[in-house]
Amino acid sequence: MTPREQVMATIRRSLGVTGEERPRRKIVEDRLAGRPRGLLPARAQGKSKAELVALFVEMAEASAATVATVRSADEVPAAVADFLRGRNLALRLKRGDDPRLSGLPWDRSAIEVATGRSYGDDETGVSAAFAGVAETGTLVLLSGPENPTTLNFLPDNHVVVVDAADLSATYEDAWSRVRDRHGDSGMPRAVNWITGPSRSADIEQILLMGAHGPRRLHIVLIDPSADAAALAAEAAPAGSTPSPAEIRSTIAAGGGDRNDKPKPEPSKTPEKEKEPEAEEGDGELDEELEESFPASDPPSRTQP
């Protein structure tokens, strides 16, 4: 008997069943065939496609991911290069064999591109998402040679490309798309749901990024309907370093001398707390204590 069979046998004995009861098997078969949907959050219901895109970006950024929006797939390599340069990372990455990635003009971006699975020595990995979920800003990635699962977890930086047309409102909608694409017999070995970069606060509630996977997650969203003027007006590409701090004069706009600075108030010496006045009868008590415990024989040495 295998370890799995031993575990299952122990469970059946505790339940008082054999596993061959027809009513019990029918319940399982009906549930697998019916695929009942779970509760759907209100924030993702009844929204237009543009509203779903905005919700996806909002939730992804709330999970510490960065998002760059481009209007066509040809702009993806430039957006990835902007992210790498902004983080002072090498222009080098590894990707899978997904046609959505292999057909991109990587040669225009000066990025050194390698293909295949990661063995833990890659700084940046790039994947193509099967879908995105607006309700939580989550990415859905399917395992396979097109997008090796190792690229999702081993590199320190993970860049994921997702098309706005592949965004679903809820988890249930995304699962329906996976089943419709692969059927019951052709499901991938793993379906990874990624929300933000890896993190953990198990030790003393101190948040640590990159605890079990990439410390950075950058999403390149392909949205042909995005406002070109709004994208061009962005101060810096997503994932770049913040703008330098602005140095401003401390002199008032109306003129004035540099020495016209508010003089610091002199520090006040804290007042010494007054000792409480002795109440009537305290002197007699002190005399009694002195007689019982003379100065040469303090109480700490006479008490047990």
pLDDT digits (tens, 9 = 90+) for 226-238: 887 667 666 444 4
- Do residue 113 and residue 68 come from a single domain? yes
Domain boundary among 205, 232, 259: 232
pLDDT digits (tens, 9 = 90+) for 142-156: 999 899 999 999 999
Q: Give the pLDDT of residue 184.
A: 73
Q: Do the Cβ atoms of 114 and 126 come closer than 8 Å?
A: no
- Do residue 27 and residue 56 come from a single domain? no
Q: Give the pLDDT of residue 245.
A: 37
pLDDT band at 285 (very low <50, low <70, confident <90, very high): low
pLDDT band at 75 (very low <50, low <70, confident <90, very high): very high
Enumerate helices (H) and strands (E) in the chain, giving the number of each.
10, 12
Q: Do the Cβ atoms of 190 and 143 come closer than 8 Å?
A: yes
- Do residue 125 and residue 29 come from a single domain? no
Q: Do the Cβ atoms of 170 and 176 come closer than 8 Å?
A: no
Q: Which residue has the higher pLDDT, 300 or 87?
A: 87
Q: Does some domain include residue 267?
A: no
- Do residue 24 and residue 160 come from a single domain? no
Strand 112-115: give its sheet, edge to edge.
66-70, 216-222, 157-163, 124-128, 92-95, 112-115
- Do residue 71 and residue 216 come from a single domain? yes
Place of tokens 């419709």: 180
- Do residue 150 and residue 8 come from a single domain? no
The lowest-confidence range among 76-90, 105-119, 249-263 is 249-263
Mean pLDDT over residues 81-87, rounded? Answer: 96
Q: Does some domain include residue 264?
A: no
Q: Is the pLDDT of residue 258 over 60?
A: no
pLDDT band at 250 (very low <50, low <70, confident <90, very high): very low
Q: Which residue has the higher pLDDT, 271 or 194?
A: 194
The lowest-confidence range among 50-64, 162-176, 190-204, 284-298 is 284-298
The 8-class DSSP code of residue 227 comes to -
Domain boundary among 232, 263, 283: 232
Q: Is the pLDDT of residue 215 over 70?
A: yes
Q: Is the pLDDT of residue 210 over 80?
A: yes
- Do residue 23 and residue 110 come from a single domain? no
Domain boundary among 214, 232, 250: 232
Name the range with the highest mean pLDDT among 92-96, 230-234, 278-282: 92-96
Name the range with the highest mean pLDDT among 7-16, 132-141, 176-185, 233-242: 132-141
Average pLDDT score, the chain: 82
- Do residue 100 and residue 61 come from a single domain? yes
Q: Kindly give the pairing relationship between strand 92-95 and strand 112-115.
A: parallel
Q: Which amino acid is at 129?
A: A
Q: Do the Cβ atoms of 221 and 58 come closer than 8 Å?
A: no
Q: Give the pLDDT of residue 263.
A: 52
pLDDT digits (tens, 9 = 90+) for 12-61: 999 998 888 888 888 888 887 887 887 788 888 889 999 999 999 999 99
- Do residue 13 and residue 121 come from a single domain? no
Q: Does some domain include residue 93?
A: yes
Q: Does some domain include residue 123?
A: yes
40 CB contacts (<8 Å, ≥6 apart)? 169, 170, 172
- Do residue 132 and residue 76 come from a single domain? yes
pLDDT band at 302 (very low <50, low <70, confident <90, very high): very low
- Do residue 121 and residue 192 come from a single domain? yes
Q: Does some domain include residue 191?
A: yes
Quote the CA–CA distance of 42 and 212 in Å, as a whole number: 31
Q: Does some domain include residue 277?
A: no
Q: Does some domain include residue 291?
A: no
Q: Give the pLDDT of residue 229.
A: 64
Q: Please give the sequence-ordered ranges of beta strands (E in DSSP) within 55-211, or none if there are none.
A: 66-70, 92-95, 112-115, 124-128, 131-133, 138-142, 157-163, 167-168, 191-194, 199-200, 208-209
Residue 92 in tokens:
């080098």
Q: Does some domain include residue 159?
A: yes
- Do residue 77 and residue 218 come from a single domain? yes
Q: Give the pLDDT of residue 33.
A: 81
Residue 228's domain is classified under what CATH number?
3.40.50.10420
Structural domain of 3: 1-34
Q: Which residue has the higher pLDDT, 256 or 8?
A: 8
Residue 154 in tokens:
């081993």
Q: Kindly give the pairing relationship between strand 208-209 and strand 199-200.
A: antiparallel
Q: Give the pLDDT of residue 182.
A: 87
Please return the burial class of 2, using the count of CB atoms within 10 Å of its CB with bins 0-12, 13-18 and 19+.
Answer: exposed
Q: How many domains does the chain have?
A: 2
Q: Give the pLDDT of residue 249.
A: 36
Q: Is the pLDDT of residue 136 over 90?
A: yes
- Looking at the chain, the whole-number percentage of residues with pLDDT higher than 70 is 75
Place of tokens 């959505």: 100
Q: Give the pLDDT of residue 82.
A: 96
